[in-house]
Chains A and B, each alone.
Chain A
């Protein structure tokens, strides 16, 4: 088992470095020039060109790309991801100060999606091909089909504008920022993000549970006279949740993609907004930093899924 984990970690590190090289080269291959984009054409004047050349030199953009990469990589080894081209602040700090809000949003959304998906999927599986099952399927399909930014706008209209129950955007009321205030701001974006991933999760829970319910050990339990509720919750459901671990782990990076969009809609001060702005401004160091953060998240989630799977299910061969 230890050898398995160590080997997987080493493979992931190599993949991570390769992703870094790929992203680094790709953003620089994109059209445009980050320094030139700092000054709008109609603001150009005599002397602007001198600034542009000086800034390019200062940011090392005149060096060959491989030299730029080597310099960046050596810095990155010491934990320094470079400075934003736009506001000259360290990328690590820019990402870190937005990590909290994003993690808060995603973890709340994940909890909400599990609280919806597990009961709903279970009921749908037990009462399959009944009205309840069809309703659950329709609901799942609905939230999968409707883009979350649209749900977000509708929710703002209904709950903020019409009913006045919840604040429309932001993470806190300026000058307030108490936990209760943050929770009120969190409800809408987290619920919508959670709902979006609850859809597919419900289907997985249902499918997985149906498989288990037809297994021999379930029939045995039933034959021994165990109560139906106990058969489902203590026997079948527990086993059916094993594949779910993998699904959740793979879902987390997807959820991040949804969070990037919802952070825009709800002015949530997370990493998504930073990433979108960095792409627009061609702020290379921030784009690379964000891409590496996402890559790390995906790799770690996959690794955890593998390990958890191996640990939970002895039938998985760890070689």
Chain B
């Protein structure tokens, strides 16, 4: 089998892979090594508390494990937990039962105390955690956030294999938003003072104890992160012995896929054709967890009428945008909600410039009013989106002007709430619908949250809060769907598209299931093998 594959492959490829395997150095010709692309060099702070950094997240997904994971359908599944958590009927107690008999990569036993320890770190802003606000409904959470208590009373370990969260009010979304926190070893970190946690050597130099499928070996600055398989992994040793994560530009990564220097690469839609033409390369994709959108600043008097935003949605041929800028590798978006929280009777805002003109006439839109769209240029699909918005909005009588800005400028414009419209993307609304609250609620206007449209609808907020307090799943999703209908009708943003995450990989790699979350391509790495 191995021979047959080797014989079929490109001669340069087999030459390079034998060199890159480091076989000569390690002496074991049976070693399998996977070279994977990292889209940026890491910040090199592998602390779950540190501000989110995509490339560091890829590493942490391999070296740490979490109670729950998220699969490519964006559904939660148990990892360190034996099952999904139980939520009490009153919604005030969340109980996780942990798998028994697990050990850390250094052989120490894994217990519920490690989980309590980690969740306490996450809830404490002194550790550098940016997520302490997530635990506002946990008993004692606000006290730790405010610095008046050291540990959260509501995090307990009734026995070695049970982790419990006590809440002051029901918060079902907490499971989806915090179940995938990477658990760190208490026995290694217990002596580090809380204030020094964000610069702890373990996190910045050598996070070599974990529960993940791989163990951190070395970071060669800006060159690669070397990982070797964890003998104590909960599902047993994985098949691929070593992984090198290598930060290079996407052009180089695509080229290296062709030379065999790289085995797994995330590619941009425009490169798809090139990659598909390569021999021995497979391509797969999954829908992303967030979406690209344009927020319309409703603090500006001339941008407050919902009919204006509806007109904008009708005026833009978003399917054309998806086809032109992304070669069709994206899905349409008409609300921030996804999957089960997305009703199927939403207004699709299909391209209809006449309807747009009607709406504008109805609201007496001033055709001389200039509207400025500010965005950080440099990503092909977003730049195309901006130019299409410009031409198609001008066509129906909205004078849109484009304004390319630097990241720092945009931050200032957000602080000053001075932009008319801004184009951006991201987020994760696919797993937990309550995540939408942070970008749409009256109480989450930037900078208190991520609501960059400064939209406020009290009925929407109430439905969201009620949904998050409803334990019954059917009733909960029904409430989310109601909220989605309000959002869809008022259109606080010009929804553009949900881009697919596209992966290209050597056909020698078996078991790879493409994940739309680009920070977690290795979600099922225990099922992978390399048959070179």
Contact = CB atoms under 8 A, between A and B. Distances in A.
11 contacts: A31-B406, A33-B408, A43-B52, A43-B130, A44-B446, A45-B438, A89-B204, A167-B261, A174-B244, A176-B25, A267-B246
Contacts of B72: none
A87 B204 contact: yes
A273 B259 CA distance: 24
Contacts of A48: 130, 133, 447, 449
Contact of A273 (B132, B222, B244, B446): B222
Contacts of A31: 406, 408-409, 411-412
Interface string A262-278: 00111101100110010
B222 A269 contact: yes
Chain B interface residue number, banded: 35 or more
Interface stretch (B43-51, B90-98, B162-170, B361-369): B43-51
A216 interface: no
B424 A41 contact: yes
A185 to B, nearest CB: 10
A75 B244 CA distance: 38
B424 A87 contact: no
Interface in A251-288: 264-267, 269-270, 273-274, 277, 280, 282
Interface of B: 11-12, 15-16, 19-22, 24-26, 33, 35, 40-41, 43-45, 51-52, 125-126, 128-134, 136, 145, 198-199, 204, 220-224, 226, 242, 244, 246-249, 251-252, 255-256, 258-259, 261, 290, 406-412, 414-415, 424, 426-427, 438-439, 444, 446-450, 452
A174 B133 contact: no
A119 interface: no
A40 B52 CA distance: 8
Nearest to A273: B222
A27 to B, nearest CB: 10
Nearest to A272: B222
Contacts, number: 198
A86 B136 CA distance: 26
A171 interface: yes
A225 B179 CA distance: 90
Contacts of B43: 86-87
Interface string A34-57: 001111111111111111101100
A246 B139 CA distance: 71
Given A173-B22, A174-B22, A32 B406 contact: yes
B138 to A, nearest CB: 12
A19 B133 CA distance: 42
B246 A170 contact: yes
Contacts of A179: none
Interface of A: 30-33, 36-52, 54-55, 83, 86-89, 97-98, 153, 156-157, 160-161, 164, 167-176, 264-267, 269-270, 273-274, 277, 280, 282
A51 B129 contact: yes
B20 A51 contact: no
A144 B8 CA distance: 43
Closest 4 CB pairs of A and B: A47-B133, A32-B408, A175-B22, A164-B12
B415 A33 contact: yes
B221 A267 contact: no
Nearest to B199: A88
Contacts of B21: 175
B222 A88 contact: no
Contact of B426 (A40, A87, A280): A40
Contacts of B244: 174-175
B477 to A, nearest CB: 22
Contacts of A88: 45, 198-199, 204
A175 B26 contact: yes
B255 A45 contact: no
A49 B447 contact: yes
A255 B314 CA distance: 52
Contacts of B131: 45, 47
A178 to B, nearest CB: 9
B37 to A, nearest CB: 11
Nearest to B132: A47
A280 B130 contact: no
Given A46-B136, A51-B130, A32 B412 contact: yes
A98 B222 CA distance: 9
B185 to A, nearest CB: 21
Given A42-B427, A47-B125, 18 more contacts: A36-B415, A37-B407, A40-B426, A41-B446, A44-B449, A46-B444, A47-B134, A49-B447, A50-B125, A88-B198, A156-B252, A168-B252, A174-B224, A264-B249, A267-B222, A267-B223, A273-B41, A274-B222
A269 B224 CA distance: 10
A319 to B, nearest CB: 47
A46 B412 contact: no
A249 B145 CA distance: 56
Contacts of B129: 51
A168 B260 CA distance: 11
A158 B448 CA distance: 52
Given A49-B447, A50-B125, A41 B136 contact: no
B340 to A, nearest CB: 21
A49 B198 CA distance: 18
A127 B262 CA distance: 49
A37 B438 contact: no
